[in-house]
Every structure is written in structure tokens, then in C-alpha cells.
Amino acid sequence: MSRATESRIVPMSLRGGAGALAGWECAPPPGVATRGTAVLVPGFTGSKEDFAGLLPILADAGFRCVAYDQRGQFESEGSEDRDDYTIETFSADLIGVVESLGAPVHLVGHSFGGYVARTAVVARPDLFSTFTLLASGPSSLQDIAFPPPAQVEQLIEAGGQDVVWQMLAGAGATEVLDQAKREFLHRRIFATRKANLVGIVRTMQTRPPAPAVVRAAGVPILVGYGDTGDLWAPEVHERFAAELGARVAVYRGVGHLPNEERPDQVRDDLVVFWTDGDARASVL
């Protein structure tokens, strides 16, 4: 991200149920009319920075964009009580954020952020104009390339953030990164509260709202995913999208982070989805 782009992202503080949530806001530049507000929710071990390449280019297209660290994640406040990190508390934070920004908004949930978003959409569909699941499959209990969540919970309880860092390194997730990015990811993991990590993994041991329930909420849905090395295979995403009655965007040669690997293409699909009810999201 260039310095000029970075300067357009403004830190903000949002109210969460466990304290302040660290957020980023990026508004359309002067001369560009605002066409709506988008809220982007990161996943397990993630943060608002996962959307650094996406926020400014969505803002250029006329959308006020807000991303935030979930409770106990990176720069957001949170308790050390594992019981404070449930799908209900995460989704309540999201609902509170949207209400404070002014509804309805376009909602984007990446990975576990999609689980949180699904719960919020079912609880308060009136708050959302559209809903996008980005690299976020049906559940973490089957058809996923992730260790059993109960096993991961035990490892984190025993070894804390270092275990999570070693898991990322062992999976090769840090090998291709430049030094600055690697150092940031290391800092982020160790700034995230252990209770957040344990709480999310506990939450992953339950199923999010069923596709039929999400579909019945009546909010238009887009499912976007990479076809190479995501946690869920393409056929799993495809089946999930059909159950949701969702549009589909496939990012060729991309893994679990299309928001970082193909931000321009993700932007194009989101803008089409958000602005043209008759158009289909492109398959890239």
C-alpha cells in the first residue's frame, strides 16, 4: 500500500461489549459521491489490516468502508475470560457497530468473520443491504482443511499464542512473506488475547446458522472464494452457495486471502453486487 493510500485510512474507535474496538475507516475521496457504507469483519488470527488493500479502492468506488478488530483481537480491548468470546458476543459487537454507523450497510465477513456475520444477519436482517461471505465455508467441523477445533483449543490452552504462530509457520503461511509482513503477523498474534483465540476455536466447534435459516433472512448473499488452497474445497463452497441461494465469485489461483491476493477483482465483484441487482458477480 502506498503512503498516499495509507493516509486515507483513518483509525477510529468503536464501542464493543467488552470495551473499545479498534477500527479503520476509509471514506470516498473529494468529488466522489457516497453510495453506501460497508463493514468488513476479519477472521481467526486476523484483524482490520487484512482489508488494507481493499478499503481504499472500495472507497474510490463510492463506498464508506469500516473494518475493525474483533474483541480481544490485535488492538481491540477484551477480557481474559474465555466465556466472553462466543458467537453471540461477537455478533452483538457487530450489530452494535452497524447501529452506530447507520444502517443498512453492506456486510463482508472473511473466514470466521463470516460465521459472525451469518449470526448477525439472522438476528437483525434489517441492518444489512447485502451480505458477502469471503473464503468462509459452511463450518469448521467437516469438509475443511483445518485440524479438529477441540484439538487446537487444547494446544492453545497449553502453549498460548506461540502455538498459533508455530501452526502458521508450520503450514508455510509465513514463508513467502517479506520481513516487514512477517514481523507484523508475529506482532499481531502476540497482541491478540489468548482468550480470544481459545474462544474462537471453541465457537468453531459449533455450527453457525444453517444455510436455510440464513437464506430465509432475505438478505442478498455473495459467496467469494479462491480455488487453490483455501480451507474449503471449491466444490464445498459451490454447494454451500447453492444452499444459500447466493451469487458466486471464484478467484482463480488464489487461496484463503482473496482480499489480499486479488483486491481489485474482489472490489469489482463487490461493487457489481452492491449496485446492480440484476447483474451476476463475475467468475474470474
pLDDT at 284: 38
Query: What is the overall mean pLDDT for the chain?
Result: 93
Number of DSSP helices (H) and strands (E) in the chain, helices first: 12, 8
Model confidence band, residue 277 (pLDDT cutoffs 50, 70, 90): low
Q: In this predicted model, what pLDDT tens digit does every residue of 1-54 receive, in sequence order?
A: 444 455 689 999 999 999 999 999 999 999 999 999 999 999 999 999 999 999
Query: Can you give the pTM of this predicted structure?
Result: 0.94
Record the cell numbers describing residue 21, joined without a space.
474496538
Distance CA 176, CA 104 (A): 39
Model confidence band, residue 161 (pLDDT cutoffs 50, 70, 90): very high
The DSSP secondary structure of 167-195, one letter per residue, reads HHHHTTTTTTS-HHHHHHHHHHHHHS-HH
Q: For 3-144+207-275, CATH number?
A: 3.40.50.1820
Find the mean pLDDT for residues 205-219. 97
| Residue 43 identity | G
Q: Does the pLDDT at position 281 exceed 80?
A: no
